[in-house]
Amino acid sequence: MKTFSLRQLLLLLTATLMTGAIPAQAARYSHIRQLAVFQITNTTRVAVGTDRSASLADVSVGDRVSIAYDHENGTLVAYHIADGVPHKPHVARRSIVLHPRHPATTSPYLHIGGFVRAIDLASGTLTIAY
């Protein structure tokens, strides 16, 4: 019977564990992200970091973004694009008081988040993977 050194046993154990872990990891990351292309208009607001009046040129490929959008004639039109950085509110939080006669309103737009995959400034489109 062949004897193994401690190093050989550790290598054998590591190899055994990895053969079971690699397929699980591959399965976890093998999902295909869907792509969505949004049309940017001259009224689309862009917020990057603390700059609430940024432009599409300030957004970079790979950035995590949140988009408020709507469907118009079969096109996804973006109304607000914000990066993943928490934004400072216009009004201090302690002065916000909800009043029963003035309830908080919800956004009329749909929302989606994802990573920027492409930006075409010429055609005014933004592609995200979600």
Global pTM reads 0.62
Task: List the beta bridge partners of residue 40.
Answer: 78
Question: 99 and 47 in one domain?
Answer: yes
Give the whole-angstrom CA distance, residue 25 versus residue 43. Answer: 43
Question: 97 and 76 in one domain?
Answer: yes
What is the number of structural domains in the chain? 2
Q: What's 115's DSSP letter?
A: E
Question: 91 and 44 in one domain?
Answer: yes
pLDDT, one tens digit per residue, over 92-129 is 444 445 555 555 566 789 999 999 999 999 999 999 99
Q: State yes or no: pLDDT of 5 exceeds 50.
A: yes
- Output the DSSP codes for 30-97: -PPPPEEEEEEEEEEEEEETTEEEE-GGG--TT-EEEEEEEEETTEEEEEEEEESSPPPPSS-GGG--
Q: Residue 22 is part of which domain span?
A: 1-31
Question: 17 and 42 in one domain?
Answer: no
